[in-house]
Chains A and B, each alone.
Chain A
Amino acid sequence: MLEAFQAMGSVVLDPFLLLLIFATTIIGVVIGVLPGIGATTGAALLLPFTLTMSPVHAITVLSTIYVSATFAGSITAILINTPGTSAAAATTFDGYPLAQRGEAGRALGIAVVSSTVGGIFSVIVLCIAAPMLARVAYHFRPPEYFALTLFGLSMLASISSGGAIKNLIGGVFGVWVSTIGAEPTTGIERFMFGNYDLYEGLSFVPVFIGLFAMSELLVQSKIANQLTSTIGMKAVKLPSREDYKRIWKTILRSCGIGTFIGILPAEGATVASMIGYAEARRWSKNKEEFGKGSIEGIAGAEAANNAATGGAMVPTMVLGIPGSGTTAIILVGLMVHGLRPGPYLFTEQVDKVYQIFGAMILANIMFLVMGLYAAKIFARISLVPISLLWPIVFAFAVVGSYSLSSALMDVWIVLIFGVIGFFARRHGFAVAPIAVGFILGEMVETNLQNSLKMFDGQWWMILTQPLAVLFLVLAVLGLCGPMIFDLLIRRQKHNGDSSNS
């Protein structure tokens, strides 16, 4: 434990790392306020730049982008009623009405304080929960890992955007994409069609840049001519003592909700903020204020979405299962830099892990300062015309994807997955399930094969392993719960429609 604290403390003594966190927090906040570019797209675009860095510095850059962009989405949500990231969507419900009443500074102050508390709380939970979970995961064998990855995939059914079935189709498609290239154990070619550039399979980064950045570019082209107007504010002010009295319980509750939702595989900050907001409303004594500028609404959504960032890092680092789209990119970052995610990370490279945790706490503190003193400047950045912004993103996306392995094939993959992602989104399929499926695909197949080898091809023997059975039961619950819920809602709607007619 002492070793862990020392490693976390060493972050403060590394001037380069401090400078890096400072610079990345600014970039993260800019990314968060720019229209359409969220934490996931930002992390995907910045990943190529981290290749020359040390593993700790690289993961610090990605995780700082994650926490600061997640917070910064609230700046535009409050000032122009447009969430900079999907995680800030719930903040618009009360943030914008409060800003319209001339209290934009107060709204931002509450958002920034709630986000910081949520972020730091979740990193503390991460520091405590991750090693504990790692001790359990240390005993996992292929059957347990296979069942766990199935559980991770089943959770895609409950991701907020898209329906359960659409998300599962996306997830299975992602797993199928991961089978392109040589089969892991035999080396037999699959879906290569004679193209040996695909022998090692599709690289994670170009697929992610395509799915998140390039598809977003095509989505943004639909609103190219839309104008936005910003609300003016004098300064961001800290919540008053009365405000604190009203929101402290909401913040604490949302911290717990956000961290728990974040820990669930494949769930993320967006789901957390929606639940955080809904719970804030449910427990509030001033329900009538919600939707009209309630400070509890802002605090509930913001504390939860930032708490989810630390929570989502738990399954990512301990089990190698991403907790959200952005952590899927952080997971790729870990692998690219030779830090194999999993329980061994906590025994073999514990100092690096705690340095990353320390850097995340510092990033949370830095965006508190920036949010309080520079939100006004950052808000202006959101007014950059998207007709100039997105062509620049295009240039970074293609050059960044090429730079990873100096192969034009990666650039074509970005373009192809950009178009696939766009059409998927056009028809109501979210791209995050495809990304999560793609990243878990190899794990599922390899662990299934190893399990079959362990039991001489008798697959039913997997069901004799208690932990594996537990994960499989959870997977079935994860799968069936939202589907039954979906069906019930549709049936209710159908019955309602027919009785009306």
Chain B
Amino acid sequence: MQPRAFPIFLMIINLILVGLLTYQFYQSPPDSIPLEPFQTWGSIILLVIFYGMTTGVDFFVAIAVVMFLMCILWGEKRILVALSASLVTPILIFVLFDQVLQIRFPRGLLLDWYYG
């Protein structure tokens, strides 16, 4: 069997299944899906921001910033609580993984300073 044969076979099966699903939808149209609130789209954008900040700035800075923005976006009105959660959590996670599990994290603005 050629290496490409199996994935092609899978794609054909899925095309047939999509055809069956389309027929089902034609027979009884599904209910329309309501549009997601801005928190959901905002959270997806935050994931993109996280990618940009991790590659451009620092892994843990990115986690802290995204956590803080997510807390606010999801309706947390107590700024200080959100700020402390987004600072304390990454620090605790870093200490746990760095000291206990001996994991080396990718270098960035903050970790360059820490690792030296």
A interface residues with partner B (beta carbon < 8 Å): 49, 51-52, 163, 165-166, 168-169, 172-173, 175-176, 179, 183, 186, 188, 190-191, 214, 217-218, 221-222, 224-225, 385-388, 390-392, 394-396, 398-399, 402-403, 406, 408, 411-412, 415, 418-419, 422, 426-428, 445, 448-449, 452, 457, 486, 490, 493-494
Contact = CB atoms under 8 A, between A and B. Distances in A.
Nearest to A163: B24
Contacts, number: 142
Contacts of B24: 163, 165, 486, 490
A490 B28 contact: yes
Contact of A394 (B18, B70, B101): B70
B106 interface: yes
Contacts of B85: 388, 391-392
Q: Which of A390, A394, A408, A490 has the most CB of B within 10 A?
A: A394
B63 A395 contact: yes
B89 A221 contact: no
A494 B27 contact: yes
26 contacts: A168-B17, A169-B21, A172-B14, A172-B17, A175-B10, A176-B11, A179-B6, A183-B3, A190-B4, A218-B40, A221-B43, A222-B36, A385-B76, A387-B70, A387-B71, A387-B74, A387-B75, A387-B82, A388-B71, A388-B82, A392-B85, A394-B63, A394-B66, A402-B106, A422-B44, A426-B36
Contact of B50 (A163, A396, A415): A415
Contacts of B94: 399
Interface string B24-50: 100110100100110110111001001
A427 B33 contact: yes
Q: Which of A391, A452, A493, A494 has the most CB of B within 10 A?
A: A391
Given A165-B17, A191-B7, A426-B36, A395 B43 contact: no
A30 to B, nearest CB: 16
A301 B24 CA distance: 32
Contacts of A418: 47
Contacts of A391: 66-68, 70-71, 74, 85-86, 89
A190 B71 CA distance: 40
B76 A176 contact: no
A221 B37 contact: yes
A169 B81 contact: no
Given A175-B10, A387-B75, A452-B1, A398 B101 contact: no
A84 B105 CA distance: 33
B13 interface: yes
A419 B51 CA distance: 13
Shortest 8 CB-CB contacts between residues of A and residues of B:
A387-B74, A183-B3, A224-B74, A387-B76, A391-B67, A391-B70, A188-B3, A221-B39
A391 B21 CA distance: 36
A190 B13 contact: no
